[in-house]
Amino acid sequence: MPQLYKRFSLSRREWGHALFLILNGLIKKVIVSDYIAVNFVDRIFSNPEFFSGFENLLGIYGYGLQIYCDFSGYTDIAIGVALMLGFRLPLNFNSPYKARNLTDFWRRWHISLSRWLKDYLYIPLGGSRKGKIRTLMNLLITMLLGGLWHGAAWRFVLWGGLHGIGLALHKVWNHIIPGRRSVDSVLTRFFSVFLTFNFVTFCWLFFRAESIEKIGTIFSRIQYGFWPGNVIEMLLSYSSVLVTISAGYILHFLPVRVKESYRGLFIRMPVVVKMVVVYLVGIILYNMQTIDIQPFIYFRF
């Protein structure tokens, strides 16, 4: 709010950063999220019974990337446009799939919502001030209400409940093994990220599926209709989509120093070079856009 009363100011570096955020957000939304949604993910979730278990499983991982690129892309665009208007908004996504546990995930994913849930639900309920059992109950209630906020459906309640249980279990784990931080090997970090990523991705199934019945169908196809013999045929049929999904996840998991290096390179470019980059990205976006307009996922909430 105090920024509303400050005189407008925007440095050349900030303008370059704002332009980078807008381009980055458009690339995430149009080239990655919309493309894999229209050409793969939406088909799987609309009629999971028509696809093998392997395709259903890849559809879940595809949606994990789709919702991240859709929502973080929308956020990047919003923050970039706001910066061009002179408003400095805080970071809202911080490579969430790099999280080493569920608590860390919610410090990285939709940070504004996480802070809102903490300040207006978790802390008023008592937070961690009223004993260990009450703390676990407060976490569960907060996440159940956070799930219900997305829609009055059991699948959203289940999504929030699973995250609440996961957060509570992480609290218990921290209490049982307080010295866990002393063991911080590369292998430990890898498995921590791997387990957290797969749990979060599994939970997205309840967030995306159209009904509880569809969730049951997807589980059934994965369990009984995996059909390993059709994997090669499927990889060839959806090669461009799978390359896009793979590239999206690789870019997400790049070290921070690599991302900062190409962001800094763009910011330091002369204005003429920036405009050339904008023009080239615009051409790519125009050719990659889908026939039907794909609204941002979070606009429905």
On whether both 111 and 124 belong to a single domain, the answer is: yes
Q: Which residue has the higher pLDDT, 190 or 231?
A: 190
Q: Which residue has the higher pLDDT, 226 or 72?
A: 72
pLDDT of residue 271: 94
On whether both 217 and 73 belong to a single domain, the answer is: yes
Residue 263, H or E segment: helix 256-268
Q: Which two tokens stand for residue 57?
A: 């499983």
pLDDT of residue 139: 94
Give the model's confidence band at 60: pLDDT under 50 very low, under 70 low, under 90 confident, else very high.
very high
Q: Is the pTM of this model over 0.85?
A: yes
pLDDT of residue 249: 97
Which residue reads 């390359």 in tokens?
Answer: 243
Rounded to whole angstroms, the Cα distance separating 247 from 257 reads 18
Task: Of 17-31, 89-103, 279-293, give the lowest mean pLDDT range.
Answer: 279-293
**Domain limit, last residue, from 134, 160, 182:** 182
pLDDT of residue 183: 59
Rg (CA), the chain: 21
Nearest alpha carbon to residue 39 among 246, 250, 239:
239
pLDDT of residue 201: 97
pLDDT of residue 165: 96
Task: Of 73-87, 116-130, 268-282, give the lowest mean pLDDT range.
Answer: 116-130
Kindly tell me if the per-residue pLDDT of 111 is higher than 70: yes
Task: Kindly state whether residue 38 falls inside one of the protein's structural domains.
Answer: yes
Task: Kindly state whether residue 192 falls inside one of the protein's structural domains.
Answer: no
Question: Tens of pLDDT along 139-187?
Answer: 999 999 999 989 889 999 999 999 999 999 999 988 887 655 555 788 9
Average pLDDT over every residue of 252-260: 95
On whether both 80 and 163 belong to a single domain, the answer is: no
Q: Which residue has the higher pLDDT, 42 or 291?
A: 42
Residues acting as catalytic residues: 150
Nearest alpha carbon to residue 95 among 294, 257, 299:
257
Rounded to whole angstroms, the Cα distance separating 103 from 101 reads 6
Average pLDDT, the chain: 92
On whether both 18 and 40 belong to a single domain, the answer is: yes
Task: Count up the domains in the chain and report the number.
Answer: 2
Rounded to whole angstroms, the Cα distance separating 292 from 47 reads 20
Task: Kindly state whether residue 71 falls inside one of the protein's structural domains.
Answer: yes
Query: For residues 269 and 16, is the Cβ–Cβ distance under 8 A?
Result: yes
Task: Kindly state whether residue 195 falls inside one of the protein's structural domains.
Answer: no
On whether both 89 and 107 belong to a single domain, the answer is: no
Average pLDDT over every residue of 103-130: 93
Query: For residues 92 and 107, is the Cβ–Cβ distance under 8 A?
Result: no
Task: Kindly state whether residue 161 falls inside one of the protein's structural domains.
Answer: yes
Q: What is the DSSP letter of 15?
A: H
On whether both 223 and 292 belong to a single domain, the answer is: yes
Kindly tell me if the per-residue pLDDT of 207 is higher than 70: yes
Task: Kindly state whether residue 43 falls inside one of the protein's structural domains.
Answer: yes
pLDDT of residue 259: 95
On whether both 69 and 127 belong to a single domain, the answer is: no
On whether both 218 and 301 belong to a single domain, the answer is: yes
Kindly tell me if the per-residue pLDDT of 127 is higher than 70: yes
On whether both 296 and 156 belong to a single domain, the answer is: no
Q: What is the DSSP letter of 127?
A: T
Convert 176-240 into a string of H (helix), E (strand) and C (coil). Answer: HCCCHHHCCCHHHHHHHHHHHHHHHHHHHHHHHCCCHHHHHHHHHHHHHCCCHHHHHHHHHHCHH
pLDDT of residue 277: 96
Find all residues with CB under 8 Å of 80, minimum gap 6, and list them. 17, 18, 19, 20, 21, 22, 25
Task: Kindly state whether residue 238 falls inside one of the protein's structural domains.
Answer: yes
pLDDT of residue 86: 93
Question: Tens of pLDDT along 261-280?
Answer: 999 999 999 999 999 999 99
Burial degree of 142 (CB within 10 A; 0-12, 13-18, 19+):
buried
Kindly tell me if the per-residue pLDDT of 52 is higher than 70: yes
Q: What is the DSSP letter of 27?
A: I
pLDDT of residue 181: 54
On whether both 110 and 161 belong to a single domain, the answer is: yes
Domain of 26? 11-93+213-301
Task: Kindly state whether residue 260 falls inside one of the protein's structural domains.
Answer: yes
Kindly tell me if the per-residue pLDDT of 301 is higher than 90: no
**Domain limit, last residue, from 134, 167, 182:** 182
On whether both 220 and 88 belong to a single domain, the answer is: yes
On whether both 219 and 241 belong to a single domain, the answer is: yes
